[in-house]
Structures are given as C-alpha cells and as structure tokens.
Chain A
Amino acid sequence: MRLWMFELRLLLRARLAVIALALLGVLTVAALGTGMAEVSRQRAQIAAIPEAQAEDIAAVADYVVRTEDAGSAAYYSFHPTWDAPSPLAFAALGMRDVSPFILRVRALGLEAQVYDGDVFNPELALPGRFDFAFVLVFLAPLFALVLFHDLTSSEREAGRLRTLEALPVGGRRLWRRRVLLRFALLFAMIAVPFAAAAALSAVPIATTFAVIGIAGAYLLFWTLLALLVARLRWSSVANAATLAAVWIVLVLVLPTLAHVVINRAVPVNQGAEIALAQREMVNRAWDIPREDTMRRFYANHPRWADSPPLTHEFHYKWYLAFHQNGDESVAPLVQKYRAGLERRAALAESLGWVLPSVGVQALLTRMADTDLEAQLAYQDRIRAYHARLREFYYGYLFRDLPFGRADFDRAPKFEEGNQ
C-alpha cells in the first residue's frame, strides 16, 4: 500500500500527467453538461407540443363543425408525433440534431410527409456535437498517449532504467503498478463523471455499467497499444509521434475513407424518386375515372368496399383513397430505399469490429437510441400511428358519419415507443 502511495506521489509530481488528467476530467464534465443541456432542450420542445397542438386543433374544429365533414377534419388536422430522447441520449447525441424528433402528420399521403425535416442550422451540425461519446472516442486516446508514451523510455533517457529493473520491488511489478495506477486515473476521469451524469439522468444501472465497460475496454485498447509501442525501445518522442499517427489513422482517416466507400458501394437515390413517383400517382387520380381509384382502393381494403357509390359531388373518401393508393404504389421503392439505408448502417457497424473508434461510437449511439436505426424505428412508429389515423377517419368517411367537435378528441393519440 505504501508503495502505491509513493507511486501516486511520484505521478502527482509529474506536471504533464497531472495537467492531462485534470484537463480530461474537465472536458468529460463539460461534454456531459452540453449533452444534458441539449437533451433537456429537446425534452422542453416535446413538452411544449400539447399546448400548441390544442390551440391549433381547436381552430380546425371551429372550422370543421360548420360542415361536420370528416374529410375536412382529416385534411386540416395535423397530428403530432415525437421521439423522446432515451435516458442515455445525453451521452451520445448521434443524429438527434439533424433528424427530426417532432413531426406532425395528417391522414393524407404519408410518403410526402415522413421524410420532412425540422429546422436546424447546418453549419452547427457540420463539425458534429460535443458530447461524451466525442470525448471518449476522439480525445481520450490522446490523453492515453500523453500518459503512456514515456513510461519506460523516460526512465531510460534519465538513466534510471537499469537501477529500477534491479530493485527488489522493481522490474515487472513496478511497471505493472505504474501502468495500473495511470490507467485507473485515466479511466476514473471518464467513468466517474459519466456515472454521476447517468445517475442524474436516470439511466438504468445495467446500461451505465455497460457504457463504463465499453469506455474501459476502449481505453485499455489505447493503453495496450502504447505499451506495445514502448516495447520497441524507441525514444519518448518517437513513441509519441507513432501513437499520434496511429490515432489519426484510426479515428480520422479510416472512418472518413470508409464513409466514402460505403456510400459508393450502397447508393441510395430512391428518396427523391419516391417523392416524384408518389406525387405523380396521387395527382393522376384527378385525370382518371374515379371508379378506377375506388376499385383499386377497395381491392386492398375490402372492409370499406360496401360504402355507398360516389356521386358527381366531390367526396373526401375518394380523395383520401387516392392518397393511400399513391402511398401503396411506391411501397417497393420505399422498401428499396430503406434497405439501402439499413445496409449502410450495417456496413458501418461491422466496420466497428475492426475499428475500435467506430465500434464505440456505434455501440454508444445504439444504446442511446440516437443512430440511423433509431431514426428508422421512429419512422416506423409514425407509419403505425398514421395507419391508425387513416382507419379513424375512414370510419366516419366511408360510413358518412358526421364529424363533430367531440370527435376531435376521439382521434388516436401518438404513444411513445421508448421503453
């Protein structure tokens, strides 16, 4: 124990190591702070939905009650959906700054709505966010480099190496002590602030431990790398240069290269095509016999097929039917588009097995539900909700039931899918 205390004192006398550790601690705390601030901003935006929505829908109701036309209600009512941040979202904001977490939809064609974005400043999104994941993936390895690059080489350069090797409590055990002590302090600077933030954010204990485990493994990787380089018995400065070079390759160069390769290998151009094709399909309905539209719709949705036939008067059921036909006609394109996106995400994740930096980022954003997969899952929840909205309005439209003020409250409410 006394030996450990001496080692600690020695370490605390090394100005560089102390500054590095303190700085890492400060950065971790700051990153946790900005992440939590961002997440609470997002929660506040979600909490502000009901008030705005109530005002908006009341105005729509005022207008619709004059005709009690359910189609009018369907046309003018926008229904909010949202994707609340998970407890862990503060640690890895992932794509939450560029993909919408609030989206209002109406019972018209969904393919023209589901890809809409929210307001964000692209220049702010460009460099990426300053969150815990960034400190861990990008910065922590640099601190490991500072702490471990001269562990043995500095003693050699000072001429103390042989003496240390010859000491009764020296040699292997001494190095093990030093490495362990430095690693423990490095790890503590990351893990302790994170554990505190996780507790504040009500992150499940198991998840907290998992993140700390991932962080520990990632730091261990860099530490072992530094020790490997040290075995080459180069000078301190050569060690530092080598480690920095490895860092830039693993953290900056290879991920950006891989991004280019993946996006080349899996082109996704269907997005714009979906929009074009869906619009064409929807608008064509005005120029073809309305019975064709209804026939096609009833073939896919026989439960409404016994609805009274159309007259020459405009009827919203025809309007909503061709919107749904439009959505259904582009379903194959949508599937292809989505498969492309999932393929891209999967390729990046499998790259994570080779590149620790990518692996950690992928794991954290997955656990925090902030990656592309989470965005697609949110879209699925929107789709499911939209289907319920359609059914709700069809119940009035195809049965010619009046839609009064009280019926606005009967509309399905979006429910959060987050556990």
Chain B
Amino acid sequence: MSPVRLIAADELRLMRRNRVAVTAFVLLVLLTLAAALTSWTHQQGIADLRERHQAAAAEAFDAQPDRHPHRVVHYGTFIYRPLSPLAAFDPGVDAFTGSSMFLEGHRQNSANFGDVRQSSLLIRFGQLTPAFVLQIVAPLLLIFLGYGAVARERERGTLRLLMLQGASRGQLVRGKLGALSLVALLVGLPAMIGFALIAGEPGALALPMIVVALGYGIYLAAWVVGIVAVSAAAQRSRDALLLLLGIWAVVAILLPRIAPDVASAAVPLRDRLQTDVSIARDLRQIGDSHNPDDPHFAEFKQSVLDRYGADRVEDLPVNYKGLLALEGERLTSELFDRYSNESYDAQARQNGIINAIGLVSPTIALRSLSMAAAGTGFVGHRRFLEQAEAYRYDVVQRLNQLQADSVSYADDTASDAGADRRKRIEAGNWQAIPDFTYQAPDGAALTARALPGLGIVLAWLVLASLMLWRATRRLGAK
C-alpha cells in the first residue's frame, strides 16, 4: 500500500465511523434517487399528457365540418411544447414557461398553463431534480465530509506525526483528495443511474449527455479540490467549515438570485400591453385595410389588378378578399416577428449578463451548461416559440390561400339567406393542413451552446487546483 492509498483509506474509515456523515450521505443518495425517480415519472407524465392533448387538438382540427376558411383561421389550433429526453434530468425553465399555446390568425398568443402559475409558493424554493441535487445539495455534503480532512490533522497535531513518519505533503493531500473524490463519485452515482435510464429513451443524444456528465464531474471535482484546499489552508476545522459554508452560500444560493435582478435592471423588457399597442400603431402607419382610400391598400389592389389584367376586383379569377387576408396576415406577422425578436434578443442579453456573473459562480455556469445541453433553457424555449410562430403563419396563410382560390368573391361578399352555405368549403381541406411537429435541435447544436459553461467550470477546477497547490506547499510550515 502506497502512503497515498493508506491516507485515503484512513480518511474513508474515519468518515465511515462518523454516524452523522454516514447518515447525511445515505440521505443524499436517497434524495438523489427520489429526485431522479420523481423527475423521470413526472416528465413521462407531462410528455404523455402533452402528446395526448396534441393528438386531440390535431384530431379536432381535422374533424371540423365544412367551413369558411376564415372561420378556421379563428378556430385556430393548439400546440404543446414537447420535452427533450434530458428534461427528466434537468427540466430547466419548463415549469416557468407555458406548456400550451393557442395559434390563430391576426394574433400572437402567450404560452399558458405553466407549472409556476399553477403551483403553490413551494415551487420558488427550487425543484427536486437530479440537476438541483447535484448543483446545490451535493457540494454541501462534500463540505461536511471534507472540511476537516487536513485541518483536523493540523489541529490534533497528527499532521506533524505523519510527516515525521515520512509522508510528504503531496502524498498527504493526494490521499485526502482521493478519499473525498471517491465520495463525490458515489454522490454522483445515483444521478448517473437516472441519467442511464434516460439514455435508454429514444431521442436521447450522446454528445450532450457526455457534456452534461463531464460538466457535473468537473463541477464536483472543483468542489472537492477547493474543499481540500481550504481545509489545508485553514488554521482550525471550524474556520474551514465556516469559510466553506460561506463560499457555498454565496456561490450556490446568493449569486444565482442576485444575477436576475442585475440583469432585469440592466435590460428592461417591453410588456405585452405596450407591445400590442405599438404593433397596432405600426400597422396603422402601414395602411388601413378597412379604408377604401388607403394608399397602401389602393396600391396593393392596383398591383393585383395589373397582375391579372383586370379592371375590377369582381373580374379577378381569384377571391380578392382572400388576397387581402393574405396581405394583412403578412404585414401583421412581419411586425410580430420584429417585436418578438426584439424581446427575445433583450432576454438573450439578460441571460448574457447572468452568464457573465457565472464567471464568479460555478453554480450559475453549470446551470447554464446543463440547461443548454438538455435543451431546456431559454434558447430551447425560443426555438419552440419561433417554430410555433412559423407554423401559425403557415397554417393561416394556407387557409387564406384556400379562401382566395376556393371561395368566390361574389359568395364571400353576399349576405343573403343561402350565402353562408355557399361560402363553406370541403371539410377534407382541413386534413390536408400539416400537423405541428417540433424540430428538435441536434446534439452538436446543443453541445456547442454548452461549451462556454463547460469552459468556466473547467477554469474553476484549475483555480481550485492552484489554490490547493499553494496550500500544500505551505502545509506544516508554522
């Protein structure tokens, strides 16, 4: 047995004898398992529910009777945000964004029925997921188990004895490091079991999973090294414990909460009312489709007449009202895109500020890495919203096109008793409209977005190692 292994074995034996430590460790393992299990079944439940709702919504859409296409524009459709397989490990912002969205013509609706508005105040205490346990709780357990690793030897005078017996400073520290690393591995294991469960899921991506595993591994390693460093540098165990608790409270609890306030103060978001009013104002400036003398729409009408070589809209081979609907939706959607991009970009800037604060908090960096790789962060949500909007636009324009092609202008403007019947088109048309399918990002894209966070966590590991190296050199020097 080399001295390093002896020292590690001895440290582990001490931990084993410490009833409080063993209890805490067992509790944490149980907690992680519970988190993995509940999170996994919860996500399964959500996924099933959303799939069911999605199927029901698609079915209801297809089952519509003969209708005027514009009725269908207002009937709209519901889409539900699908979850990535990794959401069971780190659901990210899923609970904080609505899960369902109503898509209709002329309007852009918000995503509704997110967990955060349907839950008690407890949701703001954090969510029990494997990610939460590894990010917040696991470092604390490592602190409890490791704060005294070196400081205790110094306090009791055994440090001198060890050195007199020929153990070098490096061997001693490496031994302590080895013992605590083993504990960290065991702590991470239940979460990795949960992770392996997910790996069996279809659609799980290898690359992001590797990045997540790597990220959490480096994060816990940084804590292990940092804890041993503080323990080696501190005069007394108590100082080591309090300092480590302080570091943990600032890094894992305080900074993640302060960061959003800094970000939202720096970059304001336009609220929905102001956005809606602005969009309406911009639309009025472009033109008023209700006003026969409006320059924009007069020009539009003329261009249509020129294209078909007609003198009056009544003589057009297509339904002019349908063309107007196409033009109107094009204009409003352009504005929707402009304003929502503005809002998304502002939110991205806010997240940029948070990630910058992540430089001083590995927990923030890890959180953003984890969400990026799992596709459950803001970027993933934005992706969904943008696809939803693209789909909404496509469906509405298909319907407007149907109005232009399949409903005659004469019928469309009539209001006699039988007109309502004549305006309707075949129910078969609704089935021809494609259903919404969310295009999930590929592994490479997810991984690429997780790399900055990985870099920061890695930098923390390097920094902790440097601290440990310095503390080791000073060890035993009174």
Please report A residues at the B interface, Cβ cutoff 8 Å. 16, 27, 30, 34, 37-38, 41, 45, 48-49, 52-53, 55-56, 59, 63, 66, 78, 80, 94-95, 98-100, 102, 104, 112, 115-130, 134, 138-139, 142, 145-146, 150, 236-238, 240-242, 244-245, 248, 251-253, 255-260, 262-264, 268-269, 271-272, 275-276, 279-280, 283, 286-287, 312-314, 340-341, 344-345, 347-349, 351, 357-358, 361-362, 365, 371-372, 375
B277 within 8 A of A: yes
Told that A37-B261, A55-B281, A63-B288 touch, could you supply 9 new A-B pairs with CB distance under 8 A?
A: A16-B242, A34-B265, A95-B121, A124-B351, A241-B241, A248-B137, A256-B125, A256-B132, A344-B120
Taking a contact as CB atoms closer than 8 A, the residue among B56, B117, B280, B378 that contacts A375 in the complex is B117
Taking a contact as CB atoms closer than 8 A, the residue among A116, A242, A260 that contacts B128 in the complex is A260
Q: How far is the CB of B426 from chain A (nearest CB, A)?
A: 14
**CB-nearest residue of chain A relative to B66?**
A287
When the two chains form their complex, are residues B272 and A102 in contact, meaning their CB atoms are under 8 A apart?
yes
Q: How far is the CB of B417 from chain A (nearest CB, A)?
A: 4
**CB-nearest residue of chain A relative to B53?**
A272
B92 within 8 A of A: yes
Chain B residues whose C-beta falls within 8 Å of the C-beta of A275 in the assembled complex? 78, 100, 102, 112-113
When the two chains form their complex, are residues A358 and B122 in contact, meaning their CB atoms are under 8 A apart?
yes
B470 within 8 A of A: no
Give the CA-CA distance A59 to B254 in the complex, in Å: 48
When the two chains form their complex, are residues B124 and A128 in contact, meaning their CB atoms are under 8 A apart?
yes
B249 within 8 A of A: yes
When the two chains form their complex, are residues B96 and A125 in contact, meaning their CB atoms are under 8 A apart?
yes
Give the CA-CA distance A82 to B381 in the complex, in Å: 27
When the two chains form their complex, are residues B113 and A272 in contact, meaning their CB atoms are under 8 A apart?
yes
Decide: A48 near B122, CB < 8 A? Known: A125-B260, A237-B238, A256-B127: no
When the two chains form their complex, are residues B144 and A241 in contact, meaning their CB atoms are under 8 A apart?
yes
Q: How far is the CB of A349 from chain B (nearest CB, A)?
A: 8
When the two chains form their complex, are residues B280 and A59 in contact, meaning their CB atoms are under 8 A apart?
yes
Interfacial residues of chain B within 144-174, with CB under 8 A of chain A in the complex: 144, 147-148
List 21 interface pairs A-B (beta carbons < 8 Å), by A numbering.
A38-B261, A49-B273, A56-B280, A123-B350, A123-B378, A126-B96, A128-B124, A128-B257, A129-B261, A139-B249, A142-B249, A240-B241, A244-B144, A245-B24, A256-B128, A272-B78, A272-B99, A340-B118, A344-B118, A361-B125, A375-B117
Give the CA-CA distance A41 to B381 in the complex, in Å: 25
When the two chains form their complex, are residues B121 and A365 in contact, meaning their CB atoms are under 8 A apart?
yes
In the complex, the 10 A-B pairs of residues with the closest C-beta atoms, listed nearest first: A348-B120, A122-B93, A259-B122, A271-B113, A255-B125, A124-B260, A122-B96, A256-B128, A127-B256, A130-B257
When the two chains form their complex, are residues B121 and A361 in contact, meaning their CB atoms are under 8 A apart?
yes
Give the CA-CA distance A345 to B124 in the complex, in Å: 13
Taking a contact as CB atoms closer than 8 A, the residue among A16, A34, A139 that contacts B261 in the complex is A34
Q: How far is the CB of A96 from chain B (nearest CB, A)?
A: 11
Q: How far is the CB of A311 from chain B (nearest CB, A)?
A: 9
Taking a contact as CB atoms closer than 8 A, the residue among B67, B80, B121, B420 that contacts A348 in the complex is B121
Chain B residues whose C-beta falls within 8 Å of the C-beta of A244 in the assembled complex? 140, 144, 241, 245
Give the CA-CA distance A248 to B253 in the complex, in Å: 11
Taking a contact as CB atoms closer than 8 A, the residue among A41, A127, A272, A276 that contacts B259 in the complex is A127
Taking a contact as CB atoms closer than 8 A, the residue among B116, B119, B253 that contacts A344 in the complex is B119
**CB-nearest residue of chain B relative to A259?**
B122
**CB-nearest residue of chain B relative to A256?**
B128
**CB-nearest residue of chain A relative to B261?**
A34
Q: How far is the CB of A351 from chain B (nearest CB, A)?
A: 8
Of the four ranges (under 10, 10 to 19, 20 to 34, 35 or more), the interface on chain B belongs to 35 or more
When the two chains form their complex, are residues A121 and B112 in contact, meaning their CB atoms are under 8 A apart?
no
Give the CA-CA distance A120 to B170 in the complex, in Å: 51
Chain B residues whose C-beta falls within 8 Å of the C-beta of A115 in the assembled complex? 112-113
Give the CA-CA distance A241 to B245 in the complex, in Å: 9
B201 within 8 A of A: no
When the two chains form their complex, are residues B415 and A314 in contact, meaning their CB atoms are under 8 A apart?
yes
Decide: A125 near B53, CB < 8 A? Known: A130-B260, A150-B238, A255-B125: no
Give the CA-CA distance A345 to B245 in the complex, in Å: 32
Chain B residues whose C-beta falls within 8 Å of the C-beta of A286 in the assembled complex? 67, 71
Q: How far is the CB of A360 from chain B (nearest CB, A)?
A: 11
Q: How far is the CB of B39 from chain A (nearest CB, A)?
A: 9
When the two chains form their complex, are residues A127 and B260 in contact, meaning their CB atoms are under 8 A apart?
yes
Per-position binary interface string of chain B over residues 242-271, scored 1 when its CB falls under 8 Å from any chain A CB and 0 otherwise: 100100010001101111110111001111
Give the CA-CA distance A275 to B100 in the complex, in Å: 10
Chain A residues whose C-beta falls within 8 Å of the C-beta of B249 in the assembled complex? 139, 142
Give the CA-CA distance A362 to B125 in the complex, in Å: 12
When the two chains form their complex, are residues B102 and A279 in contact, meaning their CB atoms are under 8 A apart?
yes
When the two chains form their complex, are residues A56 and B75 in contact, meaning their CB atoms are under 8 A apart?
no
B354 within 8 A of A: yes
Chain B residues whose C-beta falls within 8 Å of the C-beta of A118 in the assembled complex? 110, 271-272
Chain B residues whose C-beta falls within 8 Å of the C-beta of A263 in the assembled complex? 115, 119
Give the CA-CA distance A244 to B263 in the complex, in Å: 30
Give the CA-CA distance A124 to B259 in the complex, in Å: 8
Give the CA-CA distance A63 to B280 in the complex, in Å: 13
B290 within 8 A of A: yes
Give the CA-CA distance A49 to B382 in the complex, in Å: 27
Decide: A262 near B110, CB < 8 A? Known: A121-B347, A241-B20, A253-B31: no
Give the CA-CA distance A59 to B75 in the complex, in Å: 26
Give the CA-CA distance A351 to B122 in the complex, in Å: 10
Q: How far is the CB of A376 from chain B (nearest CB, A)?
A: 10
Chain B residues whose C-beta falls within 8 Å of the C-beta of A125 in the assembled complex? 93, 96, 116, 260
When the two chains form their complex, are residues A94 and B121 in contact, meaning their CB atoms are under 8 A apart?
yes
Q: How far is the CB of B201 from chain A (nearest CB, A)?
A: 21
Chain B residues whose C-beta falls within 8 Å of the C-beta of A361 in the assembled complex? 121, 124-125
B284 within 8 A of A: yes
B331 within 8 A of A: no
Q: Which of B42, B80, B273 has the most CB of A within 10 A?
A: B273
B334 within 8 A of A: no
Q: How far is the CB of B227 from chain A (nearest CB, A)?
A: 13
When the two chains form their complex, are residues A102 and B273 in contact, meaning their CB atoms are under 8 A apart?
yes
**CB-nearest residue of chain B relative to A78?**
B276
B328 within 8 A of A: no
B74 within 8 A of A: yes
Q: Which of A66, A271, A371 has the most CB of B within 10 A?
A: A271
B98 within 8 A of A: yes
Interfacial residues of chain B within 44-91, with CB under 8 A of chain A in the complex: 49, 53, 56-57, 60, 64-65, 67, 71, 74-76, 78, 80
When the two chains form their complex, are residues A123 and B377 in contact, meaning their CB atoms are under 8 A apart?
yes
Give the CA-CA distance A340 to B110 in the complex, in Å: 22
